[in-house]
Amino acid sequence: MNSDIINSVDRALDILILLYREQREMGVTEISKELGIYKSTIYRTLHTLENKGFIQQNSENGKYWLGIKLYAIGMSVGEKMPLNEVIQPYAKALSEEFGEVVNVSILDTTTYKHPKTILIIKEEKQGQMLTVNPKLGSISESHYSAVGKCLLAFSEDEVVEKMKDVDFSSKTENAIKNWDQLCEELEMVRKQGYALDNEEAEVGLTCVAAPILDKNNRAAAAISLSGPTSRINMPGKFETILGAVKKAAKEISLKLR
């Protein structure tokens, strides 16, 4: 065990990560069982976190959830991240040019057994309506989305290997159905420099994404434009959108190097 680690702080962070990962309220007994820590210790740690505003207790069922202090910290971090400052103008410009939703996501490779995407930037024009319309901070399966495929395609081999035993249950007829198909798709993404979600996450929705690469040619993030298939695939529009998304990703990548 690392002698520099403070056990009480380590436990507190494990609780916060567990609540974030589960995305639901949890009680003392369940948290204790999940983390393998005595209930008395969990209770004291929860009380400390609640006192500082990092978690909150539901008075009706006694269960705990992440608190407003974490929201405030997260918003502050997001606003000041160099990555966001560079990308935001491009996302806004794409959304205004095409009148569609533009998202930017990163890959979380440590919180879950299988890598998932986290939405960090969202640009949309007022009145845009999508069946799938995630909020900032939303967590999604990486193999269903265009951004996820971009992020996986330009990640280290050991990250991609974690996807071998993911649940490939199809959300739609067009979704990737097994490990071999995912590998083929990722290889194609590497060759062409972009990925598509052709009604894989939701019937009637198409998404175009391109990777934002760091100096080591690894994905720092991915930028996407989504809209109803009927609009995205209008004659001549798809090619224009694809070119614009790839151009934005390339320019952002150059600025980050």
Separation of alpha carbons 100 and 65, rounded Å:
33
Query: Burial of 110 by CB count in 10 Å (0-12 exposed, 13-18 middle, 19+ buried)?
Result: exposed
Q: How many CB atoms lie within 10 A of CB 116?
A: 22
Q: Which residue has the higher pLDDT, 48 or 78?
A: 48
Look up residue 147 and give its amino acid.
V
The CA radius of gyration of the chain, in Å to the nearest whole number, is: 20
CATH 3.30.450.40 residue ranges in the chain? 81-256
Q: Which residue has the higher pLDDT, 81 or 192?
A: 192
List CB contacts of 44: < 8 A, sequence separation 6 or more: none
Of all helices (H) and strands (E), which one includes residue 98? helix 82-98
Separation of alpha carbons 228 and 238, rounded Å:
12
Q: Which of 44-53, 95-104, 116-125, 190-199 has the lowest mean pLDDT?
A: 116-125
State the CATH class of domain 7-70: mainly alpha
CATH 1.10.10.10 residue ranges in the chain? 7-70
Strand partners, 197: 207
Look at residues 246, 237, 226, 232 and name the one whose alpha carbon lies nearest to residue 124.
Answer: 226
Q: Which of 14-23, 120-129, 202-211 has the lowest mean pLDDT?
A: 120-129
Contact at 8 Å (CB) between 97 and 120?
no
State the CATH class of domain 81-256: alpha beta
